[in-house]
Amino acid sequence: MPAPRVSARDYILDHFALTPLSARPDISLYRPTPKSGLISFLAQEGRADEPPYWAYAWAGGAVLAVHLAQNPQLVAGKTVLDFGAGSGLVGIAAAKAGATQVWAIEPDPLAHAAMLLNAEANGATLHAWTELGMPEVDLILAGDVFYDARVAQETLRTLSAAATKTPVLVGDPFRRDLPLDHLDLLAEYQVPDMGGGEPVRAGVFALRPENIGNAP
């Protein structure tokens, strides 16, 4: 008989290490180790060709987390959306800075398990938003959402529409497809990418509330 299928939650708990982030030592995330067997697990899930963005603390999320630690007034007492939540790092940082409610939009079901476990480990609460559109919030935070040209185009259209009503802050390590002509740089930090290694230059940006329509 084949072995019973392991849930994403159980796999993460059994094979990942809960590790403090060097950029935010007060936040710990479940992260893979060389012995985690992540590639085998993804193959079991039929996801072998999809990068596990949820398994790492990328620089865009890290820079937003650092910025919120230094500027908690941005989210204190407010409702916040973590757009493209991945590991849940940005939402957790918002909760720690005093946000009253944090919604998280993340299409990957494996990421849902990771972000909820990470939130639980940090004493934070994230609410997964699964409806169409976006919840009504006071602030939208988006880390690492412009990582290739196709995704950047779709994301810019979605967030630009949202920015006509709600402020949007973007975190990104100045990737090639970052739409700088739609952004205002607010702050720069040196933060690790993927949770380790040499720090990289990353910025926190305000998205201008422009109507880009159906532009390519």
Give domain status of residue 53, yes or no: yes
Alpha carbon distances (Å) from 131 to 105, 128, 158, 163:
9, 9, 15, 19
Please check the confidence at residue 50 and state whether its pLDDT lies above 90.
no
The CATH number covering residue 17 comes to 3.40.50.150
- Taking each helix axis from N to C terminus, what angle separates 8-15 and 109-121, rounded to the nearest 10 degrees? 50
Reported as a single tens digit per residue, the pLDDT across 65-95 is 999 999 999 999 999 999 999 999 999 999 9
Reported as a single tens digit per residue, the pLDDT across 140-183 is 999 999 988 888 899 999 999 999 999 999 999 999 999 999 99
User: Which residue spans within the chain are E strands per DSSP?
Assistant: 17-20, 28-31, 79-83, 101-105, 127-128, 139-143, 168-172, 183-193, 196-207
Give domain status of residue 80, yes or no: yes
Range of the domain at 28: 8-207
Give domain status of residue 2, yes or no: no
Give domain status of residue 123, yes or no: yes
Reported as a single tens digit per residue, the pLDDT across 109-147 is 889 999 999 999 999 999 999 888 899 999 999 999 998
| Residues, the chain | 216
Q: How far apart are CA 6 and CA 22, in angstroms?
A: 30
Give domain status of residue 215, yes or no: no
Tell me the pTM.
0.92
Please check the confidence at residue 1 and state whether its pLDDT lies above 60.
no
Alpha carbon distances (Å) from 193 to 43, 132, 213:
25, 31, 33
Total of domains in the chain = 1
Give domain status of residue 81, yes or no: yes
Q: Which residues contact 179 (CB under 8 A, 6 or more apart)?
A: 146, 152, 156
Give domain status of residue 160, yes or no: yes
Give domain status of residue 42, yes or no: yes
Task: For the chain, give the percent of residues with pLDDT over 70.
Answer: 94
Contact (Cβ atoms closer than 8 angstroms) between residue 169 and residue 197: no
